[in-house]
């Protein structure tokens, strides 16, 4: 015990707390950084407090005849609570426990005033000597949120406050000095009685009453602990043990030792015990609060792992909140189920009505920050999932519309090709034919003047030649728009036809096992066509290899040449980059390798069923 009461307890305590990291990988802990002004204020207060406590200790030593070590222990017993309050305030300013800690520490010092040599000041200390019990009880009941969770807690605290008030009033109004019970005052100018009967009766009753009330406080903490699961228990356990110890100490020193005069501990040792208990109590409270901080940190870690999968969300929340029975209910269920005892329901509200309902350990409600972190996490997850779904829908729609556009364009090309072959070309041939026939008829007809016939003959032959040229052009145009062979005989035949028509010397190795869809085949065909045109224009190649391979689910076509290479894709012409888009729309791809050292390799992949 003696080791605990040393001065640097507070420093050691905070140092240990900040070293603590949550389970698993390190997670950044949200930290409240006080402003510079806050630090200046704290430093000034610390200086003032140091001077004040120095004077206080010296006065106590001189007036009460205390030894230095007792005076120091007394100082520590109060200061550990003030220090713990300051620590809580620094990194959990929203938590109201800090002021209870500070108040409990500050009121501790009031009793010492009873020993000073000035009557009124000594009376102040004498009257208020037991009020630190109130703040200690309040602290134990309000831990960890700083709020009183149940009505009975308020009643219990009110009872304690009432008992203390009665005690204070009795001391103020009925105490007749000096009687050697503690007040170092010569006279009490507030009293109206001559003898101390009533005062003695009240003083004899108080220890019993306060011991019972503290037993109730412990009982309340035990009940709360029993109703908690996982996280809640872990948080409450140190406080539970400490409150039991403190209550036992109060009972012992107030009743057993004083009233029943059954002393097993020397007065000096008891005081050391009390100071040690108080130090450990303050430490437990700070550690307990630190635990909720860790839960929040774990929550922050959980948020980063959240995704749209509800099972993973539940698992992440369960592990972050250390509540293995936690349930996430979908928002659609209108009726929020009534929770079993010890469980609580939290409905998470989104922008458009409830998103989900959580069934969890009641203890989690003790840290509203934790619940709001969970709420934020679930909102984030739900929003995320909704956004991702919307994005995916849009992407799907976009891809579908691109396919529709390409398909429509392909169909249009085929229609134009058919119109050119079966309409325009037929018609031109037909006109030429009719001209031929007209000429033949004119030749047959009797014509006495042969010269006019010769002129007609020349004109018609010229017209027919022109028409034949037009027919050839239309044929080339139709092939450029859509090669009929692709529809008639498939991709492999179309590629062979392409090779037949090329001026290049092309070696082929074609094995298109499965025919791709019309759109994919057409995209692949025009890609190869474009690549061959580029080779003929720029590559100065002597050897060109065209290879096509049907693989499961795809056809892979490679066009490789031994030309100059070094063709940047931008220089390959807008034709090929247009092809890339067209290929992408049908789920295919285009890669071009053209190192400066020479040679170009174009790889086209199109999917097939």
Interface residue list for another protein (CB under 8 A): 418, 421-422, 425-427, 429-430, 432-434, 436-437, 440, 464, 467-468, 471-472, 475, 478-479, 484-485, 487-489, 493, 496-497, 500-501, 505
Instruction: Provide the minimum distance between the beta carbon of 316 and another protein in the complex, in angstroms, as a whole number.
Output: 60
Cβ proximity to another protein, 422 vs 509, nearer residue: 422
Instruction: Provide the minimum distance between the beta carbon of 504 and another protein in the complex, in angstroms, as a whole number.
Output: 11
Cβ proximity to another protein, 257 vs 421, nearer residue: 421
Cis upstream peptide for 331 (omega within 30°): no
Instruction: Provide the minimum distance between the beta carbon of 331 and another protein in the complex, in angstroms, as a whole number.
Output: 56
Category of 599 on φ-ψ map: left (φ > 0), alpha (ψ -120 to 50) or beta: left
Which residue from 128, 112, 83 is spatially nearest to 281, judged by alpha carbons?
Answer: 83
Instruction: Provide the minimum distance between the beta carbon of 508 and another protein in the complex, in angstroms, as a whole number.
Output: 10
Instruction: Provide the minimum distance between the beta carbon of 314 and another protein in the complex, in angstroms, as a whole number.
Output: 59
Instruction: Provide the minimum distance between the beta carbon of 540 and another protein in the complex, in angstroms, as a whole number.
Output: 19
Cβ proximity to another protein, 402 vs 475, nearer residue: 475
Cβ proximity to another protein, 119 vs 496, nearer residue: 496
Close Cβ partners of 220 (under 8 Å, ≥ 6 residues apart): 141, 150, 152, 153, 156
Hey, what are 41's tokens?
Answer: 């204020």
Exposed, middle or buried, 139 (CB in 10 Å: 0-12/13-18/19+)? buried
Cβ proximity to another protein, 101 vs 546, nearer residue: 546
Instruction: Provide the minimum distance between the beta carbon of 544 and another protein in the complex, in angstroms, as a whole number.
Output: 13
Exposed, middle or buried, 260 (CB in 10 Å: 0-12/13-18/19+)? exposed
Cβ proximity to another protein, 34 vs 472, nearer residue: 472
Instruction: Provide the minimum distance between the beta carbon of 498 and another protein in the complex, in angstroms, as a whole number.
Output: 11
Cα separation of 381 and 383, whole Å?
5
Q: What share of the chain is helix, strand, coil (3-state, %, to 5)?
A: 65, 10, 25
Cα separation of 85 and 104, whole Å?
9
Helix (H) or strand (E) holding 337: none
Cβ proximity to another protein, 285 vs 478, nearer residue: 478
Angle ∠(410,416,421) on CA atoms, nearest 5: 130
Cβ proximity to another protein, 490 vs 575, nearer residue: 490
Q: Which three-class secondary structure state does DSSP give residue 349?
A: strand
**Radius of gyration (Cα) for the chain, nearest Å?**
47
Cα-to-chain-centroid distance, residue 490: 53
Instruction: Provide the minimum distance between the beta carbon of 520 and another protein in the complex, in angstroms, as a whole number.
Output: 19
Q: Find the farthest-apart pair of alpha carbons in the chain and give their distance in angstroms, rounded.
A: 171
Cβ proximity to another protein, 280 vs 467, nearer residue: 467
Instruction: Provide the minimum distance between the beta carbon of 404 and another protein in the complex, in angstroms, as a whole number.
Output: 23
Q: Are 559 and 531 in contact (CB under 8 A)?
A: yes
Cβ proximity to another protein, 287 vs 484, nearer residue: 484
Buried b (16+ CB within 10 A) or exposed e, 194-230: eebeebbebbeebbebbbebbebbbebbeebbebbbb
Q: Are 357 and 346 in contact (CB under 8 A)?
A: yes
Cβ proximity to another protein, 38 vs 490, nearer residue: 490
Cβ proximity to another protein, 405 vs 433, nearer residue: 433
Hey, what are 281's tokens?
Answer: 């109590």
Cβ proximity to another protein, 48 vs 476, nearer residue: 476
Hey, what are 319's tokens?
Answer: 């592990």
Cα separation of 104 and 135, whole Å?
5
Cα separation of 87 and 299, whole Å?
22
Instruction: Provide the minimum distance between the beta carbon of 539 and another protein in the complex, in angstroms, as a whole number.
Output: 19
Instruction: Provide the minimum distance between the beta carbon of 436 and another protein in the complex, in angstroms, as a whole number.
Output: 6
Cβ proximity to another protein, 428 vs 608, nearer residue: 428
Instruction: Provide the minimum distance between the beta carbon of 481 and another protein in the complex, in angstroms, as a whole number.
Output: 12
Q: Which three-class secondary structure state does DSSP give residue 195?
A: coil
Cα separation of 349 and 382, whole Å?
11
Instruction: Provide the minimum distance between the beta carbon of 524 and another protein in the complex, in angstroms, as a whole number.
Output: 17
Instruction: Provide the minimum distance between the beta carbon of 535 and another protein in the complex, in angstroms, as a whole number.
Output: 17
Cβ proximity to another protein, 479 vs 582, nearer residue: 479
Q: Which three-class secondary structure state does DSSP give residue 320?
A: helix
Cα separation of 429 and 423, whole Å?
10
Half-sphere exposure of 49 (CA within 13 A, CB side): 16
Angle ∠(376,380,384) on CA atoms, nearest 5: 175
Sign of CA dihedral 191, 195, 196, 199: negative
């Amino acid at each position: 015990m003696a080791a605990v009461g040393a001065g640097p307890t507070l420093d050691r305590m905070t140092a240990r707390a900040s070293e603590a990291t949550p389970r698993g990988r390190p997670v950044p802990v949200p930290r409240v950084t006080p402003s510079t002004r806050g630090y200046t204020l704290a430093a000034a207060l610390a200086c003032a407090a140091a001077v004040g406590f120095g004077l206080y200790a010296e006065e106590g030593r001189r007036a009460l005849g205390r030894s230095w070590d007792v005076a120091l222990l007394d100082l520590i017993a109060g200061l550990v609570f003030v220090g713990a309050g300051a620590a809580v305030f620094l990194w959990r300013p929203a938590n109201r426990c800090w002021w209870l800690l500070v108040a409990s520490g500050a009121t501790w010092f009031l009793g010492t005033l009873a020993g000073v040599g000035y009557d009124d000041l000594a009376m102040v200390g004498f009257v208020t000597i037991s009020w630190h019990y109130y703040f200690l009880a309040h602290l134990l009941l309000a831990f960890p949120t700083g709020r009183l969770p149940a009505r009975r807690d308020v009643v219990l605290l009110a009872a304690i406050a009432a008992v203390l008030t009665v005690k204070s009033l009795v001391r103020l109004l009925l105490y007749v000095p000096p009687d050697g019970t503690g007040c170092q005052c010569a006279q009490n100018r507030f009293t109206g009685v001559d003898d101390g009967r009533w005062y003695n009766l009240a003083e004899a009753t108080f220890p019993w009453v306060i011991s019972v009330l503290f037993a109730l406080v412990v009982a309340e903490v035990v009940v709360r602990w029993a109703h908690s699961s996982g996280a809640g228990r872990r948080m409450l356990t140190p406080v539970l043990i400490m409150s039991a110890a403190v209550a036992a100490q109060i009972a012992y020193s107030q009743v057993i030792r004083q009233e029943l005069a059954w002393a097993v501990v020397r007065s000096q040792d008891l005081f050391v015990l009390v100071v040690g208990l108080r130090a450990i109590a303050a430490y437990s409270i700070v550690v307990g609060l630190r635990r909720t901080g860790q839960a929040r940190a774990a929550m922050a870690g959980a948020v980063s792992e959240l995704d749209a999968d509800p099972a993973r969300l539940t698992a992440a929340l369960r592990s972050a909140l250390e509540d293995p029975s936690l349930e996430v209910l979908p928002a659609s269920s209108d009726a929020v189920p009534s929770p079993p005892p010890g469980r609580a329901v939290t409905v998470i509200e989104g922008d458009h009505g409830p998103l989900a309902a959580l069934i969890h350990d009641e203890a989690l409600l003790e840290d509203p920050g934790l619940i709001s972190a969970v709420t934020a996490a679930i909102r984030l997850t739900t929003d995320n999932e909704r956004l991702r779904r919307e994005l995916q829908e849009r992407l799907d729609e976009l891809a579908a519309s691109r396919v529709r556009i390409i398909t429509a364009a392909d169909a249009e090309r085929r229609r134009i090709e058919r119109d050119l072959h079966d309409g325009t070309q037929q018609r031109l041939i037909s006109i030429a034919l009719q001209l031929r026939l007209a000429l033949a008829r004119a030749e047959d007809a009797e014509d006495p003047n042969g010269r006019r016939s010769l002129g007609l003959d020349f004109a018609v032959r010229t017209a027919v030649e022109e028409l034949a040229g037009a027919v050839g052009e239309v044929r080339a145009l139709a092939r450029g728009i859509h090669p009929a062979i692709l529809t008639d005989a498939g991709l492999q035949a179309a590629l062979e036809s392409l090779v037949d028509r090329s001026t290049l010397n092309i070696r082929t190795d074609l094995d298109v096992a499965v025919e791709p869809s019309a759109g994919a085949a057409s995209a692949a065909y025009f890609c190869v066509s474009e690549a061959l045109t580029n080779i003929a224009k720029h590559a100065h190649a002597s050897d060109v290899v065209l290879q096509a391979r049907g693989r499961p689910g795809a056809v892979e076509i490679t066009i490789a040449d031994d030309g100059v290479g070094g063709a940047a894709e931008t220089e390959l012409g807008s034709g090929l980059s247009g092809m890339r888009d067209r290929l992408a729309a049908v789920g295919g791809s285009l890669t071009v390798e053209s190192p400066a050292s020479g040679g170009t390799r174009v790889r086209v992949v199109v999917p097939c069923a």
